[in-house]
Amino acid sequence: MLLGPYGSLDRDRPLVRLQFTSFAVATVLLPLTGLIACLFISLVYHFEDSTFTHCHVSNYLPSISAAISRVPERYIWRCCIGLHSAPRFLMAATYFSFYRGRFAQRLPELLLSGLALLCSIAENTGLMLLTYVSSTETYSVHQNSFIVFIASSILHMLITCRLWYVIKRHYVNPEGSWRTRDPFRAPWWRIKGVLLVEVVFFMVLKVPKEA
């Protein structure tokens, strides 16, 4: 960060301002963008290799594991997951701070907020491990990382739905306005859209046999 001279009034002025909603959507779209790029490159340059099967069944599209296991697709996928994972740790801490402010007087939801933070960290860590540790290198680590990723992502999704249900029921004013209550100023349908994209991504991702 660039700082001005000591005593300057502009020393603590932020250099960049970014809306939380835009930041969250861009973070979620990184894996989808990488996946589309890998599928496109596989179809154009590695069609025979990526669609080959030992039983000689005709395939017109490569599987996800085949699309991200070759060069340069492998590095594109890992780069996108790396860029996707780093902001998610920050987002997990941001959401926990938001939940803690909302549920300061509600112990059950406060405990669920802490559990959501742990699930988010475990989910992100599992995703990074199964991406960077291939099944051909250390299969047990790859397999267990996938299990941690799936289990923590599902649990995190359920907890998030519960917390936002409580927020919508008890903390939204009768007119339905979020401007004075939501620090992120994000309508409920936008948050559900982001969560829906994550659910689709979790469902299509599978353990690659060879990476």
CB atoms within 10 A of CB 39: 19
Q: How many CB atoms lie within 10 A of CB 47?
A: 14
Query: Residue 115 has what pLDDT?
Result: 96
- Please give the C-alpha separations between residue 171 and each of 42, 51, 161, in angstroms, as whole numbers: 48, 51, 15
How far, in Å, CA of 87 to CA of 92, rounded?
A: 9
What residues in the chain have per-residue pLDDT under 70? Answer: 1-12, 54, 136, 171-211
> Can you list the alpha helix ranges (DSSP code H) found in 103-186?
107-132, 139-170
Query: What are the distances in angstroms from CA 80 to CA 29, 45, 84, 85, 86?
Result: 9, 20, 6, 8, 10
Tokens of 6: 């000591």
Euclidean distance between CA atoms 146 and 135, whole angstroms: 11
Alpha carbon 142 to chain centroid, angstroms: 18
As a whole number of Å, the CA-based R_g of the chain is: 21
The whole-number pLDDT of residue 21 equals 80
The domain spans of the chain are 20-204
What does the pLDDT read at residue 170? Answer: 78
**Residue 208: predicted pLDDT:** 44
pLDDT of residue 28: 84
Q: Is the dihedral of CA 124, 41, 62, 140 positive or negative?
A: negative
| Cβ within 8 Å of residue 139, ≥6 positions away | none
Q: Where are the alpha helices (DSSP H) in the chain?
A: 20-45, 47-51, 64-67, 73-102, 107-132, 139-170, 188-204
Q: Which of 136, 153, 177 is nearest to 88 (CA)?
A: 153
pLDDT for 4 equals 45
